[in-house]
Amino acid sequence: MSNQWTSGIHDRKLKEEICEIGRRVYNKGFAAANDGNISIRVGENEVLCSPTMICKGFMKPDDICAVDLDGNQIAGTRKRTSEILLHLAIMKERPDVKAVVHCHPPHATAFAVAREPIPQCVLPEVEVFMGEVPMAPYETPGGQKFADTVVPFLKGGTNTIILTGHGTVTFGKSLEDAYWKTEILDAYCNILLLSKQLGRVTYFSENETRELLDLKKKLGFDDPRFHVEDCDLCGNSAFRDGYKEGIPQQKSFEPAPSYPGYLSKPSTQTTPTTNNGNSDHLIKAITDQVMSALGK
């Protein structure tokens, strides 16, 4: 599958790529029935997209339609999906984004439904290829208000967003690039849930985390933590300015240890403050549980 994007709303090869990604999404169980939608930008003001009310596993090139960046349909016999506005909001805010995949991968969507932020500093591949996954607030899907929920979280380095109570949206330089982010995220969320069944997740030490971020920078990948001096490397805080009602707090997983941001001077700590070593987090967790019980 080509990583190049070609101008032209009648490019059959790109339509076939959309259908191929649709088959992958459907076969992986990321989209039941008519769920999900897929798009790729093919010009200054043209975007190919999957139509509404069609199973993504059985699309044909002739089913694919086209819209302009304002959401007006400009080609295709099938009606465009209402959720294309989400894709267009991302493309307008991020000119580097050429393709968007929205679907409901079950393990990642479980975090969206539970409103549980995705822990960081657990798996090397996720730190390098994804980084922090912000959670856009809930809004009824389909309208501009829904599309606008992701805008505060689109600063440099973001490629994956949890849609609270709904699903996920991933984006990148090509259709395949955008799709891979969905697959990585759902596999990671599955690992997190399995680890929780075993009892806990173990976080990387500060040095281990910095080594992974150094590798990420050398590979040419961006990350919001590269730009926010006082964010926490593992604390899901690089997008804090985007949250109007406060940063989502982990409830099912113990909070990650606190390490200074990438631009800050590293601390002298070399051992991980994990589940049984961070007394402050433990005390806070116990206090919260007691207060919650008293409140009931």
Active-site residue set: 83
User: Cα 93 vs. chain centroid, distance in angstroms?
Assistant: 16
Give the integer Cα–Cα distance in Å for 95 and 90: 8
